[in-house]
């Protein structure tokens, strides 16, 4: 990963957190890592524990950001969520997997799309 793509990803995650908090969600963990991967954002949406994958793209010329979260990636995120639950001892009656798409603007605020129960 280049420094520019890492900076773009970090910017996208900051935008996603602002959006989720603004929507009333409570962020409990960010960039949680284990040997098998990383979960971008973990938050409570009321009584629902939400695992969020953030995808930041300058355009959707090659598909939407959410199009990148399919098959193997979705299965890996589900396994990571189970690992997070085991590691933290957290209990959730309901779990949801969301994708937050971030499109940076040349000027002004980024466009953020929150896809609930994306997979």
The per-residue pLDDT for range 91-119, each reduced to its tens digit, is 899 999 999 999 999 888 999 999 999 98
The position carrying tokens 């962020």 is 27
Phi-psi region of 12 (alpha: psi -120 to 50; beta: other; left: phi over 0): alpha
Tell me which residue range forms the domain holding 30. Answer: 3-115
Looking at the structure of the chain, the number of domains it has is 1
Q: Is the pTM of this model over 0.75?
A: yes
The per-residue pLDDT for range 58-74, each reduced to its tens digit, is 888 888 888 888 889 99
d(CA 74, CA 94): 17
Q: Which of 37, 36, 1, 42 is nearest to 20 (CA)?
A: 42
Q: Are 97 and 81 a contacting pair, CB within 8 Å?
A: yes
Q: What's the CATH number where 84 sits?
A: 3.40.1350.10
| Alpha-helical segments (H) within the chain | 3-22, 71-88
């Amino acid at each position: 990963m280049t420094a520019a793509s890492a900076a773009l990803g970090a910017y996208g995650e900051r935008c996603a957190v602002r959006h989720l908090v603004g929507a009333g969600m409570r962020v409990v963990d960010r960039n949680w890592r284990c040997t098998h991967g990383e979960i971008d954002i973990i938050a409570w949406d009321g009584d629902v524990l939400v695992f969020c994958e953030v995808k930041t793209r300058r355009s959707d010329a090659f598909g939407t950001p959410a199009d990148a979260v399919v098959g193997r990636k979705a299965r890996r995120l589900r396994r990571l969520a189970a690992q997070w639950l085991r590691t933290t001892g957290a209990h959730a009656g309901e779990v949801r997997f969301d994708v937050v798409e971030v499109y940076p603007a040349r000027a002004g605020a980024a466009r953020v799309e929150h896809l609930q129960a994306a997979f």
